[in-house]
Amino acid sequence: MLICGLITGAAQAAERITGNEIIAQIIAQAKEQGQDVIPRLAGHKLFYPCKTKLSIAPKFEDWQTINVSCAQPYKWAIAVRADVMMPIIEPQKAKSKTPINEVARPQHSYVVYSAPLKRGTVIEAKDLTVQTGFSPKVYGGYRQVADVIGRRLTKSVSAGVPSLARHLEINYAILKDAIIDVTLTRSGIEIIGKAVALSDGQIGEVITVANLETGVKLKALIKNSSEGKIISKQLH
């Protein structure tokens, strides 16, 4: 019996788990969950045998205390303290400053002259193009070709220069001596006639017109490029 007991005790001692084995399993389990730990456990120490896989989990969320347990051949559990290694965060390198002349700036598109033009030229579509790449805004510049076509230049211009308001004559809706329709409303009745413009005028401007048949001068409010509304009586 003594010999049998000694053999059994020797077998159990041989099956016991060492501290180094538990340490290795804790480190592996923690690493799988993204943690680096150093268990505070003596490697030479012997623990109870275990015929199943050790159950290893943090007691709390920070892995500073770790529960280690086994279910076979009999239940046992220990708590192991550990040092949690914080990941090394490399200092961010200072971002190199971008030279001022390389800073991205918003790009704008403007109408430019596609050829040199002389003063007095009435601009046509072939004289214009839209160009992109202007970093600063061009004050007085046009973005639509339609705003420039038909306008007369007040000065000579070079090719590639943005078209500016100061280059162009005022865009009158009605020019002097143009024949326009005029309307006069009296007691709810609208009378329509013809008149000649005695001056240039823009939409919304009041100009003097002369009745085409009688020559009577009247004041008319310009409604569009071909029509005006009489707003005053005969002028003397």
Confidence of residue 183 (pLDDT cuts 50, 70, 90): very high
Gap between the Cα atoms of 28 and 108, Å rounded? 60
Is 181 a residue whose pLDDT tops 90? yes
CB 151 within 8 A of CB 168: yes
Q: What is the CATH number of domain 104-167?
A: 3.90.1210.10
Helical segments of the chain, H only = 2-15, 19-32
Query: 100 or 105: whose pLDDT is higher?
Result: 105
Domain 179-230 has CATH 2.60.120: no
Q: How does pLDDT run across 28-50, given as a tens digit for each residue?
A: 888 888 888 888 888 888 888 88
Q: Mean of the per-residue pLDDT values for the chain?
A: 81
Phi, psi of 88, rounded to the nearest 5 degrees: -80, 120
Output the pLDDT for position 103: 56
The model scores a pTM over 0.75: no
Helical segments of 107-203, H only = none
Q: How do the domains of the chain map onto residue ranges?
A: 14-85, 104-167, 179-230
Location of structure tokens 């005053």 = 232
Q: How does pLDDT run across 125-155, given as a tens digit for each residue?
A: 999 999 888 877 787 788 888 888 888 899 9
Output the pLDDT for position 3: 39
Output the pLDDT for position 13: 53
Output the pLDDT for position 228: 92
What would the mean pLDDT of 166-192 be, rounded to a whole number? 87
Location of structure tokens 């309307």 = 183
In one-letter notation, the amino acid at residue 146 is A
- Residues with Cβ within 8 Å of residue 31, at least 6 apart in sequence: none
Phi, psi of 3, rounded to the nearest 5 degrees: -65, -40
- 133: helix, coil or strand? strand
Output the pLDDT for position 113: 94
Q: How many residues does the chain have?
A: 236
Q: Which residue from 214, 212, 211, 213 is spatially nearest to 232, judged by alpha carbons? A: 211
CB 228 within 8 A of CB 180: yes
Q: What is the CA radius of gyration of the chain?
A: 48
